[in-house]
């Protein structure tokens, strides 16, 4: 069986994540200890105990999810469970690159901590928004977004192509809300604003891209040991240089998740394992291709079940 590991992004966090795993498995505990040391504060405590509002801060949320995901991965790795290929949703692409040996854990933690800060600073709170549009095809959502942008003079573009019938848009709040109205008037099943602190994966993230690019360029990126399917191109990366470039473009670019999963299946993936907190990606995979089994692994019991399978 050709197993593909998937790593979650923002929205998968919960207070208490990683706690039982760190208590029971030294490999996981060492990841959180390294994270605390690298970042200079107790990220582990934020993960294990919260409070919720502190975990929700983008600059904490991103390294917290990465650390938890890699803690789970290291537990699988120490028992010889290696993926044939990997991918990560938005932030999760950093976890995927750590798993592929392209980025060190320390470098990835520092990068996503700063990434979260820059993304939050790029757009004042309340100015931007993201919304999920359910029902229409991606090209129809893109057309509605473009029409709303033209009508309002703001930014509104497709940010995430998550699953068939689930496309996320991002941009100025007024433009996004106008796009939601247009979509609803043209047969969308539902359009809803997402509880996020900034409009990710759209041109409004240009300041974040400008701030993160020199940091990415200063980091060593090794060639991946296994194929890494990147968000912006929905294809496998072959070199460390390609991985760096993909992360730079990903900040403003759309997350092409549907195409990424299809490409992985075409490349031979016969089973998906969501590695990290939550089960968001497993749900998306089931909507994209029900013929391929998928499991979510985030706690000790799930790790044990996968290793025993």
- Per-residue confidence (pLDDT) for residue 98, from 0 to 100: 98
What CATH number is given to the structural domain containing 287?
3.40.366.10
Phi, psi of 160 (to 5 degrees): -140, 130
Among residues 196, 221, 243, which one ends one of the domains? 196
What CATH number is given to the structural domain containing 189?
3.30.70.250
pLDDT at residue 1 tops 90: no
What pLDDT, in 10s, does the model give residues 100-126?
Answer: 999 999 999 999 999 999 999 999 989
Quick one: pLDDT band at residue 149, thresholds 50, 70, 90?
very high
Among residues 149, 171, 196, which one ends one of the domains? 196
Which domain, by its residues, includes 150? 128-196
For the chain, the average pLDDT equals 97
- Per-residue confidence (pLDDT) for residue 283, from 0 to 100: 97
**Nearest-5° angle of CA 212, CA 218, CA 220?**
115
Do residue 167 and residue 269 come from a single domain?
no
Q: Count other C-beta atoms under 10 Å from residue 114's C-beta.
A: 18
Q: State the catalytic residues.
A: 90, 201
Among residues 161, 196, 231, which one ends one of the domains? 196
What pLDDT, in 10s, does the model give residues 24-43?
Answer: 999 999 999 999 999 999 99
Average pLDDT on 64-87 reads 97
What pLDDT, in 10s, does the model give residues 201-214?
Answer: 999 999 999 999 99
DSSP 198-213: S--SSGGGHHHHHHHH
Quick one: pLDDT band at residue 192, thresholds 50, 70, 90?
very high
Do residue 155 and residue 69 come from a single domain?
no
pLDDT at residue 197 tops 90: no
């Amino acid at each position: 069986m050709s197993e593909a590991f998937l790593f979650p992004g923002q929205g998968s966090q919960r207070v208490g994540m990683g706690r039982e795993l760190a208590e029971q498995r030294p490999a996981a505990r060492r990841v959180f200890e390294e994270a605390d040391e690298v970042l200079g504060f107790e990220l582990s405590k934020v993960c294990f105990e919260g409070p919720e509002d502190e975990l929700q801060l983008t600059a904490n949320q991103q390294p917290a999810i990465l650390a938890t995901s890699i803690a789970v991965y290291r537990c699988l790795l120490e028992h010889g469970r290696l993926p044939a290929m990997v991918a990560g949703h938005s932030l999760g692409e950093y976890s995927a690159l750590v798993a592929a040996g392209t980025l060190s854990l320390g470098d990835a933690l520092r990068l996503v901590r700063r990434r979260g800060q820059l993304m939050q600073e790029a757009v004042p709170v309340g100015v931007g928004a993201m919304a999920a549009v359910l029902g229409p095809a991606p090209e129809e959502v893109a057309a509605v977004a473009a029409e709303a942008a033209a009508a309002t003079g703001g930014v509104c573009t497709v940010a995430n192509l998550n699953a068939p019938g689930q496309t996320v848009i991002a941009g100025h709040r007024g433009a996004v809300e106008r796009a939601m109205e247009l979509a609803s008037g043209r047969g969308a099943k539902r359009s809803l604003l997402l509880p996020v602190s900034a409009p990710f994966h759209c041109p409004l993230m240009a300041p974040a891209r400008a701030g993160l690019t020199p940091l990415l360029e200063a980091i060593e990126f090794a060639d991946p040991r296994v194929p890494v399917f990147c968000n912006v191109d929905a294809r496998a990366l072959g070199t460390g240089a390609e991985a760096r470039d993909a992360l730079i473009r990903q900040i403003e670019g759309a997350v092409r998740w549907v195409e990424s999963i299809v490409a992985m299946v075409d490349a031979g993936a016969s089973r998906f394992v969501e590695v990290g907190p939550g089960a968001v990606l497993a749900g998306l995979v089931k909507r994209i291709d029900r013929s391929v089994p998928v499991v979510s692994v985030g706690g000790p019991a799930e790790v044990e079940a996968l290793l025993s399978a």
